[in-house]
């Protein structure tokens, strides 16, 4: 499919209710409001098409940008392309999911995550924490730098309450990810979750809630699922 053909199909899939929900979360025109399950119908058609993904992301249309992340080839994406994408990710749907998912599935997840959490832009910082969270969810424990992750866990714990809402949300998510996916650090993450308690995030006109890290990690422990890795970050 061409970019023009994809945009036409996306327009036909647009849903007023979905568009309203996405608008409440921060999406801006131009976009059609396509449900994720409908986006995946297009994914089945095109499979992985990296060149098409790059073109779709450049449209600035949220539906097309999200779809781009799903069809991009993680083995072909470059650090330069990921940096370009994160700079164009104007709201958290893209900055905390689309771009971090692709980065985590690529060979650049760890490097990009570390780079982005030190960026001056808070949205990019949040993308960094989200990338690291997703990266550890798909990376075998033997390939993890436990010492570095311990330091990052401490950093998130000490700073989670001193950030803007979305950045606090991604730091809280990082603590949960460490507790859920890294066996050697699960107890430390649980302790960090206990220490930070409730993380308050302004969710604007939505009903979304912030997971309580301690409770979330404890459930994973109780279910004996600590360290159960995902096949891919993208879903």
User: So what's the pLDDT on residue 206?
Assistant: 59
HEC-encoded secondary structure of 90-149:
CCHHHHHHHHHHHHHHCCCHHHHHHHHCCCCCHHHHHHHHHHHHHHHHHCCHHHCCHHHH
Q: pLDDT digit string (tens) for 119-167? A: 999 999 999 999 999 999 999 999 999 999 999 999 999 999 998 889 9
User: So what's the pLDDT on residue 207?
Assistant: 58
In the structure, what pLDDT confidence band is assigned to residue 84 with cuts at 50, 70 and 90? very high
Closest by CA position to 75, among listed 105, 115, 110: 105
Domain locations along the chain: 1-73, 93-235
- Using CB atoms within 10 A of its CB, is residue 114 exposed (0-12), middle (13-18) or buried (19+)? middle
Residue 210 has pLDDT above 90, yes or no: no
> For the chain, what percent of residues have pLDDT higher than 90?
92
Work out the average pLDDT over 167-174.
96
Helix (H) or strand (E) holding 86: helix 79-88
CA 21/CA 25 separation, integer angstroms: 6
Supply the pTM of this predicted model: 0.95
């Amino acid at each position: 499919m061409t970019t023009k053909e994809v945009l036409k199909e996306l327009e036909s899939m647009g849903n007023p209710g979905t568009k309203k929900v996405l608008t409440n979360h921060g999406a801006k025109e131009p976009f059609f409001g396509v449900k994720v399950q409908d986006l995946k119908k297009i994914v089945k058609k095109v499979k992985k098409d990296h060149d098409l993904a790059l073109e779709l992301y450049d449209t600035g249309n949220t539906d097309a940008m999200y779809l781009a992340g799903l069809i991009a080839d993680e083995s072909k994406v470059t650090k330069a392309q990921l940096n370009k994408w994160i700079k164009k990710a104007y709201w958290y749907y893209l900055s905390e999911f689309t771009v971090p998912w692709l980065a985590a599935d690529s060979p650049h997840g760890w490097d990009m995550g570390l780079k982005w959490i030190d960026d001056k832009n808070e949205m990019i910082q949040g993308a960094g924490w989200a990338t690291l969270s997703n990266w550890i969810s798909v990376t075998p424990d033997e390939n993890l730098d436990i010492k570095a992750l311990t330091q990052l866990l401490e950093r998130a714990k000490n700073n989670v309450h001193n950030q803007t809402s979305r950045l606090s949300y991604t730091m809280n998510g990082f603590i949960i990810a460490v507790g859920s996916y890294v066996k050697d650090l699960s107890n430390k993450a649980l302790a960090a979750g206990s220490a930070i308690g409730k993380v308050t995030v302004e969710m604007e006109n939505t009903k979304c809630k912030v997971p309580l890290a301690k409770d979330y990690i404890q459930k994973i422990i109780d279910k004996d699922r600590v360290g159960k890795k995902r096949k891919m970050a993208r879903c």
